[in-house]
Amino acid sequence: MNSVLATNQNPGKVFLVGAGPGDVELLTMKAARLIRAAGAIVHDHLVSREILALARPEAELVFVGKKGGGFCCPQRDIEGTLIRLAHEGKNVVRLKGGDPFIFGRGGEEAEALATAGIAFEIVPGVTSALAAAAYAGIPLTHRAHSSAVVFLTGHEDPNKPDTAIRWEDYGRIGATLCLYMGMKNLETITRRLQAGGLVAETPAAVIQSATTGEHRQLVTTVGRIAIESEHAGFGAPAIVVIGEVAGLADKLGWFAARAETLAS
């Protein structure tokens, strides 16, 4: 499929684009090119102002994100907006924090576009767990500590009758666990992981607003991360990393160390 933005095409094309974790310099070259050329940008709350500033002055900016615990726009309405803008002949960038296909509902939107007969492309972005861990100094894999990584969501569809994640099972697989959107349910999640066999002293870290000027991180243990992060005022957006590799952040946490040096 041709990735060059078309002009005067009716309907237009939709690009589901990952904006990365926040730092504009972690945006891919392709994403930046598409943002600069788009006729309309449909974006989430976590897309930074610096990234949106790349858009043309005449581009239509449509905010459909989630802020303050409530949804600004239902998912079905977001999909309808993408289809409507494409039918208006606009080339549309659907801009999502992180990667569109990792807990970004990109799959749902791609399905809706395919059903509507709208041409689309997927443009991957640096997903939040990779970026948060890298900036915190946590290698998600390490020959001495972990040979597997699992991405999990701590916030599932509220319409599900029960969680689809058997947390107890993940407590005994020996992999690095990366939790997206897990702060609200962190006490329950860590308790269930321990019930499955994960040792309470296993290193764990929470990284908030990774790669940005508001970056914060806390390294502790599975048994204490829920209470300590609450007392320290950590909240969304945040990634939780659980596993032996999290303990390396104290030695390899280059970004926090650089911030301390600049502040001194």
CATH 3.40.1010.10 domain position(s) in the chain: 14-123
The pTM score is 0.89
- By three-state DSSP, how is residue 168 classified? helix
Q: What is the mean pLDDT of residues 35-55?
A: 96
Instruction: Report the residue count for the chain.
Output: 264
**Strand residue runs (E) in the chain:** 14-18, 40-43, 60-63, 66-67, 70-71, 92-96, 120-123, 149-153, 176-180, 203-208, 216-221, 238-242
Q: What is the pLDDT of residue 160?
A: 54
Distance CA 198, CA 221 (A): 11
Q: Render pLDDT for 145-158 as a digit per residue (tens, 0 to 9).
A: 999 999 999 976 55
CATH 3.30.950.10 domain position(s) in the chain: 128-263
* Architecture, CATH, for domain 128-263: 2-Layer Sandwich (3.30)
Sequence-distant (6+) residues with CB within 8 A of 137 are 248, 249, 250, 251, 252, 253, 254, 255, 256
Q: What is the pLDDT of residue 162?
A: 62
CATH level 3 topology of 14-123: Cobalt-precorrin-4 Transmethylase; domain 1 (3.40.1010)
Active site residues: 44, 66, 181
Distance CA 159, CA 170 (A): 23
Q: Render pLDDT for 99-134 as a digit per residue (tens, 0 to 9).
A: 999 999 999 999 999 999 999 999 999 999 999 999
And the tokens for 72? 């600004």
